[in-house]
Structure 1
Amino acid sequence: MTNRTASHKLTLWQKVIYGSGDWSLSSFTTIRALLYTIFLTDVVRLNPGLASFSALIGTAWDAINDPLVGAINDRVRSRWGRRRPFLLLFAIPFGLGFLLLWWVPPTDSQALKMIYVTLAFMITDTLHTLVNVPYLALVPDISRDYDERTSLSGFRVLFNLLATLVTAVAAPTIVDEVVRSGASSQQGYLLVAALFGGLATIPFLVIPLLIKETKTALDEPEKIDLRKMWAVILRNQPFLYVTGFYSLTWIAFDLVTRMLPFFAVYWVGEGDSLISRPLFGQDFALESLAMGGLMIVSLVSIPLWTTLSARLGKKKTYIIGMVFWIIVLSMLMFVKPGQVSLMLILSALAGLSVATASILPESMLPDAVDWDEYQSGERNEGLYFGAITLFRKLSGAFAGFLALQALNLFGYQAPPEGVTVWQQNPSALTAIRWMTGPFSALLVLAAIIVAWFYPLTRQQYEEIRAALDARQKPRSPSEDANRFLS
């Protein structure tokens, strides 16, 4: 066993370097969330109902690989630590995995298309897990301070939002420009995948070289038991609450993100798939401008929310941000065809709440890990972050399932190949509007209700942290942890 350095302050550059890892994760998830649904329906031309089940099948694999990778990662013993070897080994395969999602199989068979989409989803998701779980699990291994963890989360969110901004603005516009040049949409999507996949490899090669894990007292790992892993997760009350409102928040965000291209093209753009507006002498796709405005406001508002969190606490600040989001989502129903400016204004206002949703729930996760260590004497951060990665992906998969099922049930019709202006049927337009606005607002309301009952305060956490730091034997269990939640 080795001893852990109790006090370890990170430099500003280390925080920046760590945060850059979220560029890779965010660029991957942003492209998939924003464009993959409409790519499947309009480019792959896969029936929306079949496409929705492809995501669910892939998620079933998630239920195995996410916690399993977390548990395996906790068992790693090397001079490089537990997390860094994973990042070095899987950085390049993760980047190459971008290309798998955006290739159209050369067949007219709906069954073969569904099989390929399902396998591509599973493979790329596994590669994502192999870098995502160790990256997230680094936080408790490099910081023990309540506010420093919030700061780390802030840098992660900074790069997350920056990557989302660049990807959301550039990707749809690149695809549209490729189509305008006379090439196919498929070629446009592959170009986007190659560009952002290459960039995604860089942070995960740099982080392991410049940030070291602090040494932790660890016993020899026990045999991995999936039932035990879920038992550990279910005993952690703060983690369950965070998981609840975290998942509901991201189901809402992912649903809006997946429906946005349909809302922009078929409702606001009245069926013009190449609808754009000029900015700084360059035409940008409407969905690019909408997501770009949202991300810019999110980036600018990060200091506001971190300052407010320091004064009011994480829970109250989160609830304030979500109430505002409900108002904005509800107002989307008042946007009429052709009202581009109103759509862009509401998208920008939503950015205030997206920053809140990004920073605060994730900054609560390491606190829940420490609560479990205080109660049980065990550190299972890899397991927990593997689980939260699973729930994040479940949220995205469920949002995709809802979006595609709604399109299928209300008669969505993909445009003929090569057609760039297509009038969608009225029932599908109604589903697109309701799923983008009011239905997503109801999900956010449910997240607020769950967050209201989150039990761990700043004072309680600081008492737990002080007790953990004072222990001579990190594995020594506490008998009175539950009093902090009584």
Structure 2
Amino acid sequence: MAEPRKLSVRTMASFGIGEAAGAFMGTAWSVLLLFYYQQVVGVEAWLVGLAIGISVALDAVTDPLIGAWSDRIRTRWGRRHPMLLAAALPLAISFVLLFNPPRGMSDVEGFLWLTTFGVLVRASFTFYNIPHLALGAEMAHDYYQRSTLFAYSAFAYAMSVAVCYGLITGYYFPTVEGLYDPGFLNPHSYRTMSLTFAVVMVAAILLCVAGTRKEIPYLRDTQERGQMRFWTLFTEIWEVLKNASFRAVFFGLLLGSLVGGVESAFSPFMGVHFWGLRTEDLFYLAFVGLVSFPVAFVLIPVLTRLLDKRMSVMLPLASWITAVNVPICLRLADVPWFPENGSPWVLAIFIAASTVGALSAPIIGASANSMLADVADEHELDTGIRREGVLYSVRAFSQKATQAFGTVFGGILLSAIDFPTYATRGEVPAETIWNLGLIAGPATSIFSLLALGFYLRYRINHRRHAEIVAALEARREGPTGSGLARDAS
């Protein structure tokens, strides 16, 4: 069997830098968007949740279309790179407009503005993200090198999230006592924040394209040529859903996205109002990320070799569920010895729980992406066709669709618990705060536990993947290898 082509550190780092675009867009989206439109612009929470949900849901519909198209296009720059470049400017422009609506809008006008530019931001990012993920699966052929490549990707994403979060909490939105407490209420900071982040996103995309373009001649192309028909897409999706290991990852990520949708809606409210922290206190989470993410980067390939990829997802997920829920449940139960808001121990506990999440998230993300790359090999063995674009787009579709539902549901729940507009820290009713914690903690974690059950069903370990690769190599060597390929399947 031929030795797989090894990727250089420069190539893997360039691929990873591309994740900064998603990190800056996604962090601003999840941390600020619902809060900004509900608390600052003044749109009803359920309308904000609905607008964000529509944006993500419509974006989800485009995922399989973009993935299948990405699998088919042919240019001298390959299948993926032209789409990466085409997405840069639309993403930046729509992002700036999203966070700079006209003043004095009514609820309906705010809803329409948020929906329109939310859809454009998400669609532009998908036009970049799906080909970017598929590119990673194409560049790395080896079982362990895939884990290393996606570790670079997860590391760059996580570090970018830390930097982005630090800029949000420590630079753009400081607390102004008596005026903006929390600092997220300051309407003037959103303009400079959005312009800066737009520039970062474009730069990340350009660096990714420049650093990976030399791999274009070596990218594998076993996809049939021809025009894409809409109904053919559903056939391709059905094909990949027949794979048991893909279904395990698919439903595990789906449930995790549902939880993420609700938690992203509640995240800034939990830090400021449930735990009583200032914006400056939240800044410490950036340092948590800067310390935790390099550790996770080192742990990803180690865990993959020691535990295999399935347990590399399940162990961090179980740890994360525990770390999030224990302090919230202690506060909800009003345990006498648990520190009150304002105590330095509350910040310490919050940072400790966040550290577990900061370690777990990149490990789960990198391992899941690497698992899907292995599924692409198994699918090629079964069908003779590589479907990285479809695989990653179906994964993205499921995540976005459930995240959309979770965000809509989160907005509805904020309205249901009567969370006030332009709320100052420490002045929200205690009953509202208790309901906020119940939803963000134990209620949503039920779905995370169900995700663990699905990950248990993933079946491609190192031994199985070696069999798949050997069969594929035999098939590519000529007619004499086709029988071996069938035997291994």
Both proteins in one fold, TM over 0.5: yes
Counterpart residue number, 2:251: 244
2:210 equivalent to 1:209: yes
Match of 1:452 among 453, 456, 467: 456
Please give the alpha-carbon distance, in whole angstroms, between the structure 2 residues aligned to 1:207 and 1:401: 33
Deviation of the 1:139 alpha carbon: 1.6
Query: The residue matched to 1:313 in structure 2 has which SS?
Result: helix
| Pair 440,351 (structure 1): closer, same or farther in 2 beyond 3 Å | farther
Counterpart residue number, 1:297: 292
What letter matches 1:289 in structure 2?
Answer: Y
Match of 2:379 among 366, 372, 378: 372
Structure 1 alignment gaps of length 5 or more: 277-284
Cα pair 2:224 2:385 within 8 Å, conserved: no
Counterpart residue number, 1:328: 323
Query: The residue matched to 1:392 in structure 2 has which SS?
Result: helix
Deviation of the 1:21 alpha carbon: 0.5
What letter matches 1:388 in structure 2?
Answer: R
Please give the alpha-carbon distance, in whole angstroms, between the structure 2 residues aligned to 1:44 and 1:474: 64
2:443 equivalent to 1:439: yes
Please give the alpha-carbon distance, in whole angstroms, between the structure 2 residues aligned to 1:405 and 1:33: 16
Normalised by the length of structure 2, the TM-score is 0.88
Please give the alpha-carbon distance, in whole angstroms, between the structure 2 residues aligned to 1:83 and 1:290: 34
Cα pair 1:57 1:118 within 8 Å, conserved: yes
Deviation of the 1:263 alpha carbon: 1.3
What letter matches 1:381 in structure 2?
Answer: E
Cα pair 1:407 1:431 within 8 Å, conserved: no
Cα pair 1:49 1:408 within 8 Å, conserved: yes
Deviation of the 1:122 alpha carbon: 0.6
Please give the alpha-carbon distance, in whole angstroms, between the structure 2 residues aligned to 1:477 and 1:137: 27
Please give the alpha-carbon distance, in whole angstroms, between the structure 2 residues aligned to 1:411 and 1:477: 66
What letter matches 1:268 in structure 2?
Answer: W
Counterpart residue number, 1:49: 46
Q: Deviations over 1:305-351 (max 9, x none)?
A: 42122111111232221221122112132254222232222222332
Please give the alpha-carbon distance, in whole angstroms, between the structure 1 residues aligned to 2:104 and 2:479: 57
Please give the alpha-carbon distance, in whole angstroms, between the structure 2 residues aligned to 1:259 and 1:150: 32
Please give the alpha-carbon distance, in whole angstroms, between the structure 2 residues aligned to 1:202 and 1:157: 18
Counterpart residue number, 1:195: 196
Cα pair 1:238 1:455 within 8 Å, conserved: yes
| Pair 332,189 (structure 1): closer, same or farther in 2 beyond 3 Å | farther
Cα pair 2:165 2:283 within 8 Å, conserved: yes
Deviation of the 1:227 alpha carbon: 2.4
Please give the alpha-carbon distance, in whole angstroms, between the structure 1 residues aligned to 2:176 and 2:33: 17
What letter matches 1:425 in structure 2?
Answer: P
Counterpart residue number, 1:141: 138
Counterpart residue number, 2:165: 168
Aligned residues: 466
What letter matches 1:316 in structure 2?
Answer: M
What letter matches 1:456 in structure 2?
Answer: I
Please give the alpha-carbon distance, in whole angstroms, between the structure 2 residues aligned to 1:383 and 1:149: 18
What is the Cα-based RMSD across aligned positions, in Å? 2.8
Cα pair 1:377 1:477 within 8 Å, conserved: no
Deviation of the 1:178 alpha carbon: 8.8
| Pair 64,254 (structure 1): closer, same or farther in 2 beyond 3 Å | closer
Cα pair 1:18 1:156 within 8 Å, conserved: yes
| Pair 287,250 (structure 1): closer, same or farther in 2 beyond 3 Å | farther
Cα pair 1:258 1:403 within 8 Å, conserved: yes
Q: Deviations over 1:162-205 (max 9, x none)?
A: 01101112113333249679997232112111111101111221
Please give the alpha-carbon distance, in whole angstroms, between the structure 2 residues aligned to 1:475 and 1:82: 28
Match of 2:148 among 151, 172, 175: 151
| Pair 473,127 (structure 1): closer, same or farther in 2 beyond 3 Å | farther
Deviation of the 1:431 alpha carbon: 2.3
Please give the alpha-carbon distance, in whole angstroms, between the structure 1 residues aligned to 2:450 and 2:50: 25
Cα pair 1:20 1:159 within 8 Å, conserved: yes
Counterpart residue number, 2:368: 361
Deviation of the 1:361 alpha carbon: 1.1
Query: The residue matched to 2:296 in structure 1 has which SS?
Result: helix
Percentage identity across aligned positions? Answer: 22
Counterpart residue number, 1:36: 33
Query: The residue matched to 2:427 in structure 1 has which SS?
Result: coil
Cα pair 2:70 2:79 within 8 Å, conserved: yes
Counterpart residue number, 1:279: none
Counterpart residue number, 2:347: 340
Q: Which deviates further from its counterpart, 52-61 or 25-34?
A: 52-61
Please give the alpha-carbon distance, in whole angstroms, between the structure 2 residues aligned to 1:294 and 1:409: 33
Cα pair 2:68 2:228 within 8 Å, conserved: no
2:103 equivalent to 1:102: no
| Pair 91,251 (structure 1): closer, same or farther in 2 beyond 3 Å | same
Please give the alpha-carbon distance, in whole angstroms, between the structure 1 residues aligned to 2:461 and 2:70: 29
Match of 1:415 among 418, 422, 430: 422
Please give the alpha-carbon distance, in whole angstroms, between the structure 2 residues aligned to 1:69 and 1:7: 28
Q: Deviations over 1:423-446 (max 9, x none)?
A: 112332122212332124322211
What letter matches 2:406 in structure 1?
Answer: A
Please give the alpha-carbon distance, in whole angstroms, between the structure 1 residues aligned to 2:285 and 2:261: 15
Cα pair 1:298 1:355 within 8 Å, conserved: yes
What letter matches 2:188 in structure 1?
Answer: Q
Counterpart residue number, 1:463: 467
Normalised by the length of structure 1, the TM-score is 0.88
Counterpart residue number, 1:282: none
Match of 1:69 among 66, 69, 73: 66
